[in-house]
């Protein structure tokens, strides 16, 4: 970056994944402390104490849990080095963090001695983030010994500890009776809120009479509980304590003391109730009932609000072994029973275990048949029950009709094809819907065969293949089969279920009678944009649009139809040097899966001997970064619409297990209607648990990414909080005036948010900003996406109209007219590859080939 670069301009280009300032090329070996003798020397208790003390004094390291710091201490190697030797040199890239064990070191900056380092002091911690240049030289004054750890070892140690801890904690949560009936979402949020602690022999973990703030689960070791100095009981691995004071706001009823070394996980009262939002016993009952209803084929179509109403009327009874729950001869179809806990059975061998519905299917039928056997409790069993009459009173009508109506509403709200469908057509659509189930690998449509149905995915996903090559993945609320119905032509591709799949289907005649001109226009646009017969040679070069993280982006036009596209060209040589094959494969996979009207869709990919190419639809607009520079601070309504639109984007991605990881204004285009469009999926990732890669743009990175302790979807909500703050206050909350990544990260970890610099310091958005920027990732949505969308900041917002872009945005950007430029390019086309090479020659990244293991990424570009 040039002199005088503002912090805002710096943010536009900064990234932890790829830095353009003095970045070490792949293959360079960083050789620090070259004169030292390095060995895996056993550590004494005093060594560990000194190392742990030093680790606790650095912002990156002190924010890690004790287990992670202990693992880092174990991994540190012993260095012995003589006098007047260099540990590392100013301006050279860094690789390791060091702790001086004996001797003295001097700190030299620009040839001037600035300071002396004494034993017990740690230095060089920025190298644990990346290979940035050292800001000083460190020289030994006398013979010294040090402990050191390099960046890759540090990352792997933290990752290893957190993976192990996460899995252990997950097993605990799944097996603790107190949490057994919680939903997976609630368990995940509790898991994200747990902290690990260690206690030594004789240490008191809680004291009798103290006010309780934490609930504890024992991971390793034994504790003794005592009252009035009398031992009451011992607790071991997997058992818990502190729940009474934690859950019922009582003082501690006992003292709990560690016997030997003890490791526990704890969760605070505030976090527990932010997650559970109710008394725990009610939560357990209600969650059990909810899980059973959601898993019921007959009742799963009920909406969350409808289920909530049913739960308020559920009556729960405890049955003891041998007691009859449902007598023989009871009429079916009049009542629903749910086994919350225990086991019910009939004499003929039918058994009903935990979270099982009894009589649910019959609720959708006309009453008539009877139970032919008594259903009896085999063990102590808790049963909830509710009558069909009460169910229909709660949901406001006939159960069968309402479940069908719910399906219709889900389609109208989430399937863009039917957005804005005439109200008069709703009943027609409702009557046309059928639900079809497919098993893994089932063929739904066959290329070249006639098509009679439109398919809309209700749950699961499917693979689209053309000439046996995977073209894209189709997921929830996406649709397929429309081309064959509109043009009365054979299927253009084969569709195969990828796992269990549920689809709504509409027969051809009904579909053609439903669609209006607007829907037909959407279909034509989609068919044209997804023209998989198009090749790179069909396109004409117009102009460069900019640079992405890895490649150059160009505006292109179809030679015959003049339709505009963007093409990102990435040199294979650069891909090899940066080792980003996995990133590009993921970008392609995710981009072809995404089909959302607020996201830029990947249409096709190409490759040749020199490059890979990613083609997307062209969206005329300005990125939010530039828009903010034009208008500086947006008003409340505009900020609400923009942030709510981003909520819808993240909801869509997270529902598909995609974490975006680089949400920032530069990756959001404001289109011709003023709506935000998410672009560039180069850092997105499909995550089924947690991921550990430290990447993103520093000002927008969540603290858990910086610490390398593992993160998931909640990191995106933090980035939204940063953007919302920036929209309203014209600056980012952490490190606004900083250009150094270390300084930015330190500000984020410190977590001091100021509202006093603006006249808007009493802004109504302050509570939601604080929630999104919560250090506890599990608390950022306030209990899930539904809770976030119900936040007071979004009060009275019409989510359905926003979803179909029917709300008028308060600000529409002004755009440059490119028509003449495009027309000239089409009339006098340039040689495409020469234009690509010209832009690549200006790339500040200097290419250099190194010996690499060729087998690592063989065939990585087969699908391009």
Q: Are 186 and 55 within 8 A, CB to CB?
A: no
Q: Is the pLDDT of residue 73 over 60?
A: yes
The backbone torsions φ and ψ at residue 860, rounded to the nearest 5 degrees and listed phi first, read -60, -25
Q: Provide mean pLDDT across the span 191-215.
A: 78
Range(s) of the domain holding residue 485: 401-529
Number of other CB atoms surrounding residue 687 within 10 Å: 16
Structure confidence at residue 376 (pLDDT): 94
**296-305, 588-597, 635-644, 808-817: least confidently modelled range:** 296-305
Q: Is the pLDDT of residue 378 over 50?
A: yes
Q: Are residues 294 and 230 in the same domain?
A: no
Q: Among positive and negative, which fits the CA dihedral 461, 466, 470, 473?
A: negative
Q: Provide mean pLDDT across the span 694-705.
A: 88
Q: Name the band, by pLDDT with cuts 50, 70 and 90, for residue 852.
A: very low
- What CATH code is carried by the domain that includes residue 756? 1.10.510.10
Mean pLDDT of the chain, nearest integer? 82
Q: Are residues 284 and 136 in the same domain?
A: no
Structure confidence at residue 293 (pLDDT): 87
Q: Are residues 424 and 517 in the same domain?
A: yes
Q: Are residues 251 and 364 in the same domain?
A: no
In whole angstroms, give the CA distance from residue 770 to residue 104. Answer: 45
Active site residue 740: no
At how many degrees (to 10) do helices 399-414 and 388-395 cross?
30
Q: Are residues 297 and 252 in the same domain?
A: no
**125-139, 416-430, 502-516, 840-854: least confidently modelled range:** 840-854
Domain boundary among 157, 188, 211: 157
Q: Is the pLDDT of residue 603 over 80?
A: yes
Question: Which three-class secondary structure state does DSSP give residue 749?
Answer: helix
Question: Could you tell me if residue 566 is inside a domain?
Answer: yes
Question: Could you tell me if residue 689 is inside a domain?
Answer: yes
Residue 458 tokens, joined: 């209700």
Q: Please pick, among 65, 382, 662, 680, the residue that the annotation labels catalytic.
A: 662
In whole angstroms, give the CA distance from residue 716 to residue 718. Answer: 5
Whether the predicted model's global pTM rises above the 0.85 cut: no
Domain boundary among 506, 529, 552: 529
Q: Name the band, by pLDDT with cuts 50, 70 and 90, for residue 850.
A: very low
In whole angstroms, give the CA distance from residue 79 to residue 518. Answer: 72
Q: Is the pLDDT of residue 131 over 60?
A: yes
Structure confidence at residue 650 (pLDDT): 95
Strand partners, 565: 556, 617
Q: Are residues 59 and 189 in the same domain?
A: no
Structure confidence at residue 489 (pLDDT): 85
Q: What is the widest separation between alpha-carbon atoms in the chain?
A: 96
Q: Is the pLDDT of residue 5 over 70?
A: no
In whole angstroms, give the CA distance from residue 281 to residue 177. Answer: 12
Residue 564 tokens, joined: 């505009």
Q: C-alpha angle with apex 234: 230 to 237, nearest 5 degrees?
A: 155
Residue 361 tokens, joined: 């299917």
In whole angstroms, give the CA distance from residue 549 to residue 575. Answer: 11
In whole angstroms, give the CA distance from residue 747 to residue 738. Answer: 9
Question: Which three-class secondary structure state does DSSP give residue 429?
Answer: helix
Q: Are residues 633 and 769 in the same domain?
A: yes
Q: Are residues 32 and 140 in the same domain?
A: yes
Q: Is the pLDDT of residue 229 over 90?
A: no
Q: Provide mean pLDDT across the span 444-473.
A: 87
Q: Provide mean pLDDT across the span 370-391.
A: 92
Question: Could you tell me if residue 788 is inside a domain?
Answer: yes
- Name residues whose C-beta falls within 8 Å of residue 264's C-beta, 6 or more positions apart in sequence: 196, 197, 199, 205, 216, 217, 218, 219
Q: Are residues 405 and 489 in the same domain?
A: yes
Q: Is the pLDDT of residue 98 over 70?
A: yes
Structure confidence at residue 471 (pLDDT): 79
Q: Per the structure, how many domains does the chain have?
A: 6
Structure confidence at residue 250 (pLDDT): 44
In whole angstroms, give the CA distance from residue 671 to residue 675. Answer: 5
Q: Provide mean pLDDT across the span 767-786.
A: 86
- What CATH code is carried by the domain that includes residue 546? 3.30.200.20
Question: Could you tell me if residue 502 is inside a domain?
Answer: yes
Question: Could you tell me if residue 15 is inside a domain?
Answer: no
Question: Which three-class secondary structure state does DSSP give residue 3?
Answer: coil
Question: Could you tell me if residue 168 is inside a domain?
Answer: no
Percent of the chain with pLDDT over 90: 25
Question: Could you tell me if residue 9 is inside a domain?
Answer: no
Nearest to 594 by CA among 682, 720, 469, 525: 682
Structure confidence at residue 848 (pLDDT): 42
Q: Are residues 319 and 336 in the same domain?
A: yes
Q: Is the pLDDT of residue 648 over 90?
A: yes
Question: Which three-class secondary structure state does DSSP give residue 309?
Answer: helix
- Which DSSP letter does residue 698 get? G
Q: Are residues 668 and 542 in the same domain?
A: no
Dihedral angle computed from the Cα positions of residues 559, 561, 562 and 565, in that order, rounded to the nearest 10 degrees = -90
Domain boundary among 97, 123, 157: 157
Q: How far is CA 542 from the centre of its chain?
A: 36
Q: Are residues 349 and 445 in the same domain?
A: no
Number of other CB atoms surrounding residue 168 within 10 Å: 16
**81-90, 303-312, 333-342, 752-761: least confidently modelled range:** 752-761
């Amino acid at each position: 970056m040039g002199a005088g670069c503002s912090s805002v301009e710096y943010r536009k280009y900064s990234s932890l994944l790829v830095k353009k300032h003095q970045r070490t090329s792949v293959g360079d070996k960083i050789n620090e402390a070259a004169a030292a003798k390095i060995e895996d020397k056993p550590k004494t208790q005093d060594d560990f104490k000194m190392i742990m003390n030093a680790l606790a004094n650095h912002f990156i390291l002190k924010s890690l849990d004790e287990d992670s710091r202990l693992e880092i201490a174990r991994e540190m190697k012993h260095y012995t080095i003589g006098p007047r030797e260099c540990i590392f040199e100013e301006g050279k890239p860094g690789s390791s963090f060091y702790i001086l064990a004996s001797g003295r070191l001097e700190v030299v900056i620009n040839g001037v001695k600035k300071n002396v380092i004494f034993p017990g002091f740690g230095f060089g911690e920025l190298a644990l983030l990346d290979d940035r240049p050292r800001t000083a030289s460190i020289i030994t004054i006398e013979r010294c010994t040090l402990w050191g750890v390099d960046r890759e070892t540090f990352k792997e140690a933290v990752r290893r500890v957190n993976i192990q801890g996460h899995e252990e904690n997950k097993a605990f949560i799944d097996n603790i009776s107190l949490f057994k009936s919680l939903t997976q979402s609630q368990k995940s949020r509790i898991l994200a809120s747990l902290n690990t602690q260690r206690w030594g022999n004789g240490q008191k973990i809680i004291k009798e009479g103290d006010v309780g703030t934490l609930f504890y689960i024992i991971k390793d070791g034994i504790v003794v509980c005592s009252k009035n100095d009398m031992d009451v009981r011992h607790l071991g691995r997997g058992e818990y304590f502190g729940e009474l004071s934690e859950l019922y706001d009582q003082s501690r009823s006992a003292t709990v003391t560690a016997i030997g070394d003890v490791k526990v996980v704890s969760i605070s009262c505030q976090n527990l109730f932010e997650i559970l939002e109710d008394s725990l016993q009610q939560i357990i009952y209600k969650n059990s009932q909810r899980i059973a209803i959601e898993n019921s084929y007959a009742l799963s179509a009920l909406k969350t609000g409808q289920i909530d109403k049913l739960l308020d009327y559920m009556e729960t009874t405890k049955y003891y072994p041998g007691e009859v729950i449902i007598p023989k001869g009871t009429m079916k179809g009049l009542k629903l029973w749910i086994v919350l806990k225990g086991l019910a059975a009939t004499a003929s061998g039918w058994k009903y275990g935990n979270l099982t519905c009894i009589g649910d299917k019959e609720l959708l039928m006309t009453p008539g048949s009877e139970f032919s056997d008594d259903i009896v409790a085999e063990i102590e069993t808790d049963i909830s029950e509710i009558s069909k009459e009460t169910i229909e009173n709660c949901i406001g009508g006939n159960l069968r009709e309402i479940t069908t109506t719910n399906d219709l509403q889900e389609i109208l709200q989430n399937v863009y094809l039917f957005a804005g469908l005439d109200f008069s057509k709703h009943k027609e659509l409702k009557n046309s819907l059928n639900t079809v189930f497919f098993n893994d690998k089932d063929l739904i449509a066959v290329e070249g065969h006639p098509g009679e149905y439109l398919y809309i995915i209700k749950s699961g996903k499917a693979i689209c293949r053309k000439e046996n090559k995977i073209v894209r993945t189709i997921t929830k609320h996406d649709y397929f089969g429309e081309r064959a119905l509109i043009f009365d032509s054979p299927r253009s591709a084969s569709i195969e279920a990828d796992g269990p799949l549920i689809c709504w289907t509409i027969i051809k005649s009904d579909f053609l009678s439903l669609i209006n001109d607007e829907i037909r226009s959407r279909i034509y646009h989609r068919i044209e944009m997804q023209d998989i017969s198009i090749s790179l040679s069909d396109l004409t070069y117009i102009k460069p649009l900019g640079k992405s993280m890895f490649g150059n982006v160009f505006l292109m036009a179809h030679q015959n139809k003049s339709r505009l596209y963007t093409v990102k060209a990435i040199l294979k040589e650069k891909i090899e040097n940066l080792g980003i094959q996995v990133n590009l494969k993921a970008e392609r996979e995710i981009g072809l899966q995404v089909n959302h009207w607020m996201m830029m869709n990947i249409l096709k990919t190409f490759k040749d001997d020199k490059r890979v190419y990613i083609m997307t639809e062209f969206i005329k607009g300005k990125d939010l970064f530039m828009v903010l520079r034009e208008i500086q601070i947006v008003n409340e309504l505009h900020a609400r619409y923009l942030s709510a639109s981003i909520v819808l984007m993240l909801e869509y991605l997270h529902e598909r297990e995609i974490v975006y990881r680089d949400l920032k204004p530069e990756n959001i285009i404001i289109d011709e209607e003023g709506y935000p469009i998410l672009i560039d999926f180069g850092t997105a990732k499909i995550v089924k648990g947690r991921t550990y890669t430290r990447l993103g743009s520093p000002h927008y990175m969540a603290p858990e990414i910086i610490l390398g302790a593992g993160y998931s979807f909640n990191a995106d909500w933090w980035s939204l909080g940063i953007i919302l703050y920036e929209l309203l206050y014209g600056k980012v909350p952490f490190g606004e005036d900083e250009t150094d990544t270390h300084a930015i990260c330190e500000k984020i970890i410190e977590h001091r948010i100021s509202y006093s610099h603006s006249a808007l310091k009493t802004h109504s958005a302050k509570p939601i900003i604080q929630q999104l920027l919560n250090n506890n990732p599990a608390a950022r949505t306030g209990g899930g996406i539904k809770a976030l969308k119900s936040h007071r900041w979004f009060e009275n917002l019409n989510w359905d109209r926003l979803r179909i872009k029917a709300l008028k945005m308060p600000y529409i950007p002004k755009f440059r007219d490119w028509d003449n430029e495009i027309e000239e390019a089409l009339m006098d086309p340039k040689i495409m590859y020469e234009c690509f090479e010209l832009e690549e020659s200006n790339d500040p990244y200097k290419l250099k080939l190194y010996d690499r293991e060729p087998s690592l990424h063989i065939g990585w570009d087969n699908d391009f």
